[in-house]
Amino acid sequence: MNYKRINNFKEAFEIKINLLVTGINVDLDDTKISFKKKVDALYSHTPYNYDKIPQEIILYHDENTKLPIVCNIRFNKKSPYRVFLKDNILLLKYEDNLYIIEPTRIGNLYDYQFSESIQILGVNLAGIVLSNYCHFVHDNKKCRFCEIDSNCFNVKAKSRVEILKHFKKIKTKKDIKYLSITSGNFNKDYDKMLVFFIDFIKEIKFINKDIKILLSLMPPSDDELLIKLKNVGCDMVAFNIEMLERKRFEKMVPGKNLLGYDLYVEKLKKAKSIFGAGNVYSNFVYGVQSLIKNRGDTFNGKEENDISLKGVKFLLKNGIIPLYTVYHTNGTNEIGDININIEKLINFSLDYGRLVLKSNLVDKDKKGVLFDLGSISNHVYNDAYILNKYYL
C-alpha cells in the first residue's frame, strides 16, 4: 500500500470532521507512539489510559497561514480510522487510504509541560483550568450532554500562587500569544467568582502585558464587574449558551436556565457593549440542537442545521461570535450516542465559516475565529473560517 499526504485544505478539513464525529482508534499496544500524551484537563474524562493515547495529530500544513490543521483524538476503538506507526512513519488508515500524519511537536512547545493547571492547547495558546468543580452537577442541574464525573471533582480551586509561578515560565516562550482561562463553576455566586478573576488576570497581565486573554465564565449579575474585568486587561469573554433555542435551552441546560435564556442573551449583549463587537463569544453544542426530550436517537440533521444557522446569524447580528463543539460521548450522559450526519455537519461548517467571514467581526489579520488555526484541536470553527477565507 502506498502512503500519501492529505492533498489540500478542504480534504484535511473534511477528514478532521470525520475524525471528530467517529473518533480514532489508536493501537494501545504500540508503545513506540511517544508524542504528546493526554493530560488531565477539565473536560478530559475518557476512561482509557492517557499514557497510551496521543492528544492530537497534525493532518495538514496550511500554506497561507503557515499553521497546521490539528485534530484532537477522541479515542474510539471501533472507529474505522486508525492511527499507528509503521517504519517509523505515523499513519492514519481509513479503508484503503494510508495518510502520512504527524505528532504535535510544534516549536518544541509540546515537549514542555508547564504544570497540571497550565497546559499548551495549540501552536500559540496556553490554557488555565482553575477548578473542575461545577455546582450544577452537584445540584442535579447538570447539562444533559455533560460527561463530567463528579467523582473526579477537585472542589477547591487550584492554588493561584502555584499557577502564577508556572505562568512566569510561559513568558519566556515567545510563541505563546493567547491564554484561555476556564473558570469552572466552583462558586454559585458568579459575581464573587468574577471578583476573583479580576484580581487573577491583573496579576497575569502584570507578568505578561502582551498576552491576549479569553475568560470563559457564567455571566455575572453586576455588569460593573465586566467593566473592571476589561480594565485589568481581559481581552475577550465567553458566556457559553450551549443551546440556541429557548425551549431546548430550558430543558437541556437546567443549571444555566436558572438565569434563563433571555437574561443569558441580554448578558451577551451587555458584554459586547463593554468588550466591543468581535470580542465576545458564545459556544453551542452541534448535534443536540434538534433533539426531542433529550434523546440522542431523535437527532435530525436538517433541523440541526436550520436551528444552528439561525442561531449563528442571530449571534453575529448582535456582534457576538458563535463557536461550536461537535457533540461526542463516551456513554456517560443521558443522551447517549447520536448518529451525526457528517455531510450535513460539513455543510453547516462551510456555511458557518462563510457567515463569520462576511460578518467582519473577526480582525482581518487574525488566523482564526478564536485564537489561531492549530489551536483547540477539538473544534473545527477555525478550520471552517480559514477554508472560507482563502480557498472558497
Identity of the residue, 137 or 320, whose beta carbon is nearer to ligand SF4 in the bound complex: 137
Alpha-carbon span 231 to 312, nearest angstrom: 29
Query: How far apart are CB 242 and ligand SF4 at their closest, in Å?
Result: 7
- Distance, in Å, from the CA atom of 227 to the CA atom of 238, rounded to the nearest integer, reads 15
Nearest of 68, 93, 25 to residue 383 by alpha carbon? 68
**In the complex with ligand SF4, which residue's Cβ is closer, 79 or 132?**
132
- Give residue 384's identity as a one-letter amino acid code: A
Shortest Cβ 256–ligand SF4 spacing (Å)? 7
Distance between CA atoms of 57 and 224, rounded to whole angstroms? 42
- With respect to ligand SF4, which residue has the nearer C-beta, 124 or 132? 132
Q: How far is the CB of 240 from ligand SF4 (least distance, A)?
A: 8
**Which of 54/255 has CB closer to ligand SF4?**
255
How far is residue 286 from each of residues 21, 43, 319, 328, 370, measured CA to CA in Å? 11, 17, 21, 10, 17
> How many angstroms separate the CA atoms of 181 and 125, rounded?
11
389: which DSSP letter?
A: I
Q: Which is nearer to ligand SF4, 39 or 152 (CB)?
A: 152
Across the beta sheet with 25-26, what order do the strands follow? Answer: 3-4, 97-100, 89-94, 81-86, 25-26
Min dist CB 132 to ligand SF4, Å, is 8
What is each CA distance from 114 to 10, 110, 117, 118, 224, in whole angstroms?
34, 10, 8, 6, 34
Among 142, 160, 153, smallest CA distance to 186 is for: 153
Report in angstroms how near the CB of residue 60 gets to ligand SF4 at its nearest.
30
Q: Which is nearer to ligand SF4, 242 or 383 (CB)?
A: 242
Quote the least distance from Cβ 144 to ligand SF4, whole Å.
9
Minimum gap (Å) between residue 283 Cβ and ligand SF4 = 10
Angstrom distance (rounded) from CA 353 to CA 355:
6
Question: Closer to ligand SF4 at the Cβ: 146 or 204?
Answer: 146
* Cβ-closest position to ligand SF4: 146
What is the nearest approach in angstroms of ligand SF4 to the Cβ of residue 8? Answer: 35
Q: Under the rule (CB under 6 A), what is the footprint of ligand SF4?
A: 134, 136-137, 142-143, 146, 148, 185, 255
> Which grid cell is 45?
474524562
| C-beta closer to ligand SF4: residue 62 or 242 | 242
Beta bridge partners of 93: 82, 98
